[in-house]
Amino acid sequence: MFIIYELIKMFGGARAYSVLGIIVITVLYYHVVEKLNIKKFLLISFGGFVLLNVLIVIRNGRYFGTYSWEFNGVYFLATETMKEFGGTINVISKGFRDFRETANGMVTISSILSIIPGWTYIFGDDLINKYYTYFAFDFEPLGSAFPIEYYFDFGYTGGLIACFFQGIIVGMLDKRIFQNIRTGRYAQNSFLIFLIIELIYTVRSYPFRIPRYIFYFILVYKFYDIIFTNHKRRKYIEIV
């Protein structure tokens, strides 16, 4: 049902979150609920094949205004999929062409300041106009990609180090998610899965927004945790 819902939602135009959600849920399902065998692997491969076609249909609908199912063989599917990856390469190329000087960490500082409600009224529009590539370099139609974002913020060397640390963080989150599955800490996983999807999504999005998303998601998670913990404590006292 979740996959069907995400497939339908993709026709609204936003594909990346849905694709990542389907991949994450599929991996977790076959790690926790069932073991993957040849038959299921072939079934998933066929599902992925259909999904790629759906993504191309949605892309054509967004760009040309018509949703038409067109399939001209595996070669067509492969080349059209490569065009999708070409969008990321285009963003990175545009960034290397347009970025004349680094922001010296101001992108990271501005993204942390964005946690404060109404932060543009406090600090003015200058920060977001200069350090949010969505506005600063007219990236809105293209999306972005974390390698070029970190290059803009820290330069070549600092950007490579930032990419390296993001990879380490994703690996640590992945390990922690599977540890929580074994120990039954599913509530914490709701936060970690959200975070790992956001980090992976920065392949075609803006790391600028991550501190704000993390902060408010932690608030919601802690609020839930406090209520749930107090509820269990009251139940325990009543039983005793």
Q: pLDDT tens digits for 51-81?
A: 777 776 666 666 555 555 555 555 556 666 6
Strand blocks (E) in the chain: none
Q: Which of 13-27, 73-87, 115-129, 151-165 has the highest mean pLDDT?
A: 151-165
pLDDT at 109: 87
Q: Which residue did the predictor score with more confidence, 240 or 15?
A: 15
pLDDT at 165: 92
Phi, psi of 170 (to 5 degrees): -60, -40
> What is the spatial distance between Cα 101 and Cα 91, in angstroms, rounded to a whole number?
17
The rounded mean pLDDT for the chain is 75
> What is the spatial distance between Cα 194 and Cα 191, in angstroms, rounded to a whole number?
5
Report which residue type is found at 33.
V
- The single residue listed with the structure tokens 């330069």 is 155
Cβ 13 vs Cβ 62: under 8 Å:
yes
Give me the half-sphere count of Cα atoms (radius 13 Å) on the Cβ side of residue 3: 13
Closest CA relative to residue 212, chosen from 220, 200, 204: 220
